[in-house]
Amino acid sequence: MSNAFPEIQGGGSLLLAWQIKNKRVAAGRILSVLNADAKVTVISPRAGLNEEVAYRISSGAVDYHDRKFSPEDLEGVDMVLTAVDDPAASTAIWKLCKQRKIAANIADVPPECDFYFGSVHRDGPLQIMVSTNGNGPKLASIVRKQIAADLPIGIGAAIERVGGLRRKLRKLAPEIEEGPKRMRWMSRVCESWSLEDLTDMEEEDMERLLGFYESNQVPRLQDLRQKDFADFEFDGSFGWV
């Protein structure tokens, strides 16, 4: 019986896509959290800012306080990221976060991190993170680049099209009891169509394809686009799945 289940491999991290849109973040790693639509507050004397952080401040992308950290800065904060060249100060901030149950990442101090930043590849809605659990950040970057190089061209655009189709389908069949059928039908579309087809799918194609949801059929894209497609009667040989 035990052979039917995967073997437990300890020592890993739970990799999550953390939704922090509109969450308040006290941040030292600017771009990662801004890409996730977080509300970022930077607290640092101006002399301690690097070029990118100074740019984000001047462009109005983040809120900024030109001073050292104060415990009151944790009020209303959902996440804390530190990049302080003072181990004692970093630990003090971490302890305050623990007391207030705020998730924190203390730069270069793994024991004082509730989460880590992996090496991330981004293509539109597609995000792939590689983590070595702190063993080799540079190697994580190398692995991430290799994975990205092997991905099909246009995969991000294909995902965007599938997302658009799913949203249309939810409007067409919004009932809760339709959930299992929606998922099965969308799975068939993704498995039956090539990535090139999904990338090439247009609004008109989506509308015509949705016309076959009720009958639980998935015609091929090239068949769907035939001008006289509506005149065909399904005889089992038309490329439907």
Residues 6+ apart with CB under 8 A from 174: none
pLDDT at residue 117, rounded to an integer: 81
For residues 230 and 238, give the distance between their C-alpha atoms in angstroms, rounded to a whole number.
12
pLDDT at residue 58, rounded to an integer: 94
Name the 3-class secondary structure at 78: coil
- Structural contact between residues 112 and 106, judged by C-beta atoms closer than 8 angstroms: yes
Which of 108, 123, 200, 223 is the catalytic position? 108
pLDDT at residue 8, rounded to an integer: 66
pLDDT at residue 210, rounded to an integer: 96
pLDDT at residue 48, rounded to an integer: 86
For residues 205 and 197, give the distance between their C-alpha atoms in angstroms, rounded to a whole number.
10
Render pLDDT for 162-214 as a digit per residue (tens, 0 to 9): 999 999 999 999 999 999 999 999 999 999 999 899 999 999 999 999 999 99
pLDDT at residue 20, rounded to an integer: 83
- The list of the chain residues with pLDDT below 50 reads 234-241
pLDDT at residue 239, rounded to an integer: 45
223 given a catalytic annotation: no
pLDDT at residue 80, rounded to an integer: 94
Using only C-alpha atoms, the chain has a radius of gyration, in whole angstroms, of 24
- Structural contact between residues 208 and 224, judged by C-beta atoms closer than 8 angstroms: yes
pLDDT at residue 174, rounded to an integer: 96
Nearest to 66 by CA among 87, 91, 40, 41: 41
pLDDT at residue 237, rounded to an integer: 39
For residues 137 and 130, give the distance between their C-alpha atoms in angstroms, rounded to a whole number.
9
For residues 24 and 150, give the distance between their C-alpha atoms in angstroms, rounded to a whole number.
36
